[in-house]
Structure 1
Amino acid sequence: MAMVIKRQEVVGVLEIISVLCVSVAAAYTPVDNYLISCGSSVDTPVGRRLFVADDSGTVTLTSPESAAVKASPSAVSGLADADAAMYQSARVFTAPSSYAFRIRDPGRHFVRLHFFPFVYRDFDLATASFKVSTQDAVLIDSFALAPAARINASSAAAACEEFLLDVARDTLVVTFVPLAGRLAFVNAVEVVSVPRNLIGAGRAKTLSSSGQQLAPAVLPLQTVHRVNVGGSAVAADNDTFWREWTTDQQFLVGSASTQEVAYSGKLNYLAGGATPADAPEMVYATARELVMSESNWVDTSKQISWQFDLDEQQPSSYLVRLHFCDIVGKAPHLLRIDVYVDSYTAMLGFDLSNAGNGALAFPYYSDFILDSKDPAGRLTVSVGSSSTMKMNMSGSPGPILNGVEIMRIHSVAGSVVVIEPMAGEKKKNLAVVLGSVGGAFAFVSIAAAVVIVFRKKEEKETPTPTTSQPSTPWMPLLGRISFRSAVPSPVGSGSARFTVDTNTPGGASPSMAAASVVPSYRFPFAALLDATRNFDDGLVVGVGGFGKVYAAVLQDGTKVAVKRASPESRQGAREFRTEIDLLSGLRHRHLVSLIGYCDEQEEMILLYEYMEHGSLRSRLYGGGAATAPLSWAQRLEACVGAARGLLYLHTATGKPVIHRDVKTSNILLDNDLTAKVADFGLSKAGPDIDETHVSTAVRGSFGYVDPEYVRTRKLTTKSDVYSFGVVLLEALCARPVVDPRLPKPMVNLVDWGLHWQGRDELAMIVDRRIAEAVRPAALRKYGETVARCLADRGADRPAMEDVVWSLQFVMRLQEVDGLDVSDVSSLNMVHELTPSSHARQRSAVESEAGREGDDDERGSVTDGEYTDAWQMVNVRGR
């Protein structure tokens, strides 16, 4: 057999293998092969490939507000020559924009997005914050550099985010959406078709404690790690599909003695095994081997382990592909390996020669699906001698591994955003154009007639808030959310159509899996009578202004929360429909999911995913073992989760969604204490992109309502920020927002909290049950964040994105010794927030509760219709 070379001889062999890899890589010609140099005016050679300018006509750039920028030579001096060429230019977007690619070969495509921040005139790419989506998947929910990189852009490195998508459309649209008034950018984009069998259907083994089965063959995948174990790095030019492979030394853990091995012979590619397209020959011709000896080769505790950071913000499932090739055995059946992925035994006594019918040097790979991974954890892969070997065979090889690929089964929550070119923009044939116009006119005419009929029927049947509601002709939610809804372009351009699509494969986060088992639709009243035992009061888990909330179990075993409107409720059909319309189009890990609704027999009933630990408010004031109060760390986690949920509402669609009733009783905790924002009956669509606010009637809960909103009736996302600032203060102090039983200076928590924060003595009012756990540096940053949220003017308050960042930094200060607020620029604005001004604001809230005002849809209404005094006074909420 061919020679196996170890250690010092490896390098020379790798050079020979590298030449072979180049010839293999060059043999593949993809049908779709778009290499786009963004912002460049000329074509850019990168290695053996040519990236073309994005205005060359190869792709369609839809961007009414963009700029082509170029890095200075010094900015890219630290990059390799090929990388410097790719990252020296960028396209900057200040409004939602897209690239559209014509797809000639539907199926699997690699989509690679390249990013490198630099400064060009007034554009500092290090401050960018944006989301990226296609028509069918959210690729990046919130791209932002780490805080250290924001402060010092020169410390940021070039990054490539790689996705493997199943594209079934004839056009792939990749859309970039700036968040929170910032900018978006991209340096280069690749869209490359690959064989559909690159990810085989039904071949993967699921490693799961829940029994959940996933289908990576059709789901979007995002590359996390791709490693050539025991060999050198593989550049894109040396891979069939231009993938990059890193070395494994940085991932090795443990003290086991290992050696790198390389193979100089010909690999035996056989049916049922791997192909040269699955991984470069260099991957299969090199490996890392556990060094064995006569005394330890049967010791199964001896293993090689690699540990991979996942950098997760939420639990995800993963496809783990392990590459094997027996290049160390002298005869078949001598190499047997036990393989472990995290805590699971993936393979026991694996004999590569069995898979290859006795052949050696047989390239092979195995796929494993890890159903969920802790967001703060790492993924470990280990190989060791097989525990099935019973006898010592001198000279047997040690266990090996040749390569590792880890791909996240992509399921970023949120609605996709699509900026598409005009449908007829590229049509040349007049007959086709006329046919399209005629068909569109007929469709619009029919749709308009249907809308008129349904609107007239709805006007006749929709009751006022003071009357009972009969059963309405709404479509089931399952049908409604399967359609795309188009709204006017937010950038005011006639060249694009702005759409939000909620029917997204993988659009729900893994945490929503239980909720998504039951699709959102209209439930029969009889089924709810059965699930709630005729609305047995013994199942009541909460009571609010809308009515009682029952814990119920559906026929399929799904546990849900059933909220039933009471006849005495001041909240009627409008809030009921708002909740359904809003939640049927939004999915996020930190928003409570709507399961369905019922409007039979004059009922108004909503079904939600069941939240095991109730509201944040109940856990802050809980007593006894069953409802123990939350720790400081748990409170921080809950606040960060709620802030992320609100950030999603503010940024996920063309118009922000303003909650209007943010409070601790509307932040619920699931079985894992994950916080989710709930109760969207008062939510309101925010201003258009060219507007600053929405003029509307005052709604909310007393103590939490933004005083500026009360005075001016101008609603913005900063109104939610103010309410969330009150939540932060309540979470820290664990006392009611308004408590008339206390001495006058202490009645209002906002006044009281800002008083002590202004004196830099916030520790004086921290809940005594957590006081010892709160580190001074974390409390100082937390207090600064609270004070900024509670600023007099909305313009002085931070965006919710900045609140999320600040709270994450608080968590960092809490976890790490030696960090201090001074490590970042201070956000302290406390001295501008005097208690007296907030006292005046509170008086404004109280006086406003008795005045009349303009309603959202009508010229004027009565006091009760717009203030809802019960809500304004009752802190517990609805």
Structure 2
Amino acid sequence: METQKLIPLIIFLFFLPCSVSFVPIDNYLINCGSHSNASLFNRVFMGDSTNQGSIFLSSDDSISLINKNPSPNFPTLYHTARVFTSNGRYRFHMKENGTHLVRFHFFPFKAQSFDMKSAKFSVLVNGILIIKEFRPISDHVLIKEFILKIESNMVEILFRPVNSGFGFVNAVEVFNAPVDFVIDYGTRLVGPSGVEEYKHISSKVLETIHRINVGGMKITPFNDTLWRTWIPDEDYLVFKDAAKHAISTHTPNFQKGGATPEIAPENVYMTAQQMNRDNSSLASRFNITWNFPVARDGFPHLIRLHFCDIVSPALNLLYFDVYINGYIAYKDLDLSALTIHTLASPIYVDFVANSDDSGVIQLSVGPSDLSSSIRINAILNGAEIMKMINNVDDSTVHRRKHLEVLFGSIVGGIVVLFFVATVFLLAIKCRKKKPKERTVESVGWTPLNVFGGSSLSRTSEPGSYGYLGMKIPFAEIQSATNNFDRNLIIGSGGFGMVYKGVLRDNVKVAVKRGGTPGSRQGLPEFHTEITVLSKIRHRHLVSLVGFCEENSEMILVYEYVEKGPLKKHLYGSSRQLPLSWKQRLEICIGAARGLHYLHTGFAQGIIHRDIKSTNILLDEDYVAKVADFGLSRSGPCINETHVSTGVKGSFGYLDPEYYRRQQLTDKSDVYSFGVVLFEVLCGRPAVDPQLTREQVNLAEWAIEWLQKGMLEHIVDPHLVGDIKPRSLKKFGEMAEKCLAEYGVDRPSMGDVLWNLEYALQLQESEQQRGVHDDYGSASEEVNETTRTIHESSTSRRIEKNYDNEGSDISTSQVFSQLMNKEGR
């Protein structure tokens, strides 16, 4: 039914003409080998054998060919061709310098003694080799388009037969592009070293490989101001069910400084693919991915991505990330900020990335860490991929090779002697030095080789990564997940899909498979998870069962946590049976214990950096386990106060001081945990854009009610009458302290844990004793006295029980002795 409703809109968009046609100053359209003109898409191509057209042709040995048996209704432009048995040229006088488009039309029909499929030739434009040893391989029309900068008053196109072959062409186009079609600033170079600025892109020769109308139908040159063809994206989607069409019937708001109808036609910006959040087999966070085939030659490509926010009801609701070849290309892309705060205003962003041996340019869009839980989405409207071709002529290559041989002959002997001497000196120097073990952070995308062992069995000996590292064969993971059966998907995120699985020993596991095999996306997170989780073992931290890095896969295998994320038990359409207040307190206490262990169980401590309700999992007994350590960092050294690092985290949970100063401390986790505490209390998301302005941010809204002394008015309706006032007051005060603007004013996780235990005791106690009075000096004295006892005791027991699976007896014993009559 929904598809039927979309059909009229699609038909409307397909026949929607461009509003104003671009009129180029230079505009040469040649019908090659013909004595007459031909029309194609309302454009007239002049025959190169006519009196007017012959002035452009300079070739003594060229031949005009006519297709005697053209297909019915086949464009007349392809009924003729110009064949070159030796070098042949077209010359065009240019009225304007700058960026020009040059197109060649090839249709290899048979005529007379020529079978144009056997042609072999190269093409040069003003001495630049743009087509090298071309041979037609299909019976269809092939259009090759090049974008290059013309800086002379003449364009010479040379067709050069290779060996005993010949060249041919059916039609030639040469016309100038708009002034701002290719600009020299704003291009982003994407690769393993991050994102850098790429300069002087307009001086490069670009060959169009793909031009895609994402989410829409084919656009013909009739509906494009530069007479281009845009094809649908369906055939390039890696996982079609992850994408959903978006269509607008409103003309885009073209703005100065953004895209123009010459950059891409209106129809491109009126359709898009967005995240298919209606697909119940997918979790809230996943990427849409496209694979575009390219040559396996390692050449750089210009990737132009087109965006227009046609999916948001208002500004500043859409944040998403862009990935190219698995590398982050644009983090936290905010279309509202790039379009002068105008909704549905087209923009484009240029990237440069290299192709590799995979023969694929991979594009992905997915939710940003700044995305709210309600407005998680990502879109793409259009994509163009253009190869930055090698513009060196064959003759230049030969000369360079001769020079290289000569240079090599002269230098070769010196290099050999230097190498022998260096090896000798290094052998002496390193004879007694033992090789250092490499940590996960130091390795690239190579097998991690943590423990060794055969590929047929898992190994569990302690190694450089700690106690829990295990390499699991890919075949076993395939078997455990029924070859990654979609019905076993239990979640997804920026790293990839998560599957439920059962290993050979009947152990239930959660299998997190990173992105697309061979992709580098998520590689740092993959290494970080192994580094962190192989060092820790605690009842309230999710355990790493093993990992797999065979076949360029990045797979992490965790213990299976039966009841899933805490978030699902608090709110949303997938909400489970409501938790009682006691259960919620116990869950918060468990998570706090896990975080306290992270912060204090090691010399530098570990900062999680992404504490939120989706990263706190519940087992079958509702025991909390902190998960997802992909963003974790080691804490500051003893003589340091913070770690300087780029901001990572999730929107709504992010420590404002960390965001402003980019200085990370364990108090950043405390802030995020404070937001979780209010989520637990109020049963609503950290950010909800659908609410009124003052209610959007949970932390600000909750503190406002707390400071009014009316916190009980905003608790989860399921908890009304279930919370004792003193327990609520202690819990609220603790959450407020966690959310202090400056980290120095926030409590440690040890303090948070102490107060949460206290709130639970207040909830359970039927008879409040004076020593527990929230306002009494005795209570404050107990707080100050016992906090030190608790922290030191907990730290000692953490170290003591490290090898005993982090048994978490210490905290519970200390608090039971402090707060229970029987314990005294």
Task: Name which one, 1 or 2, has greater alpha-carbon Rg.
Answer: 2
* Higher RCO, Cα 8 Å, sep 6+: 1
Q: With structure 2 as the length reference, what TM-score do the two structures score? A: 0.47
Q: With structure 1 as the length reference, what TM-score do the two structures score? A: 0.44
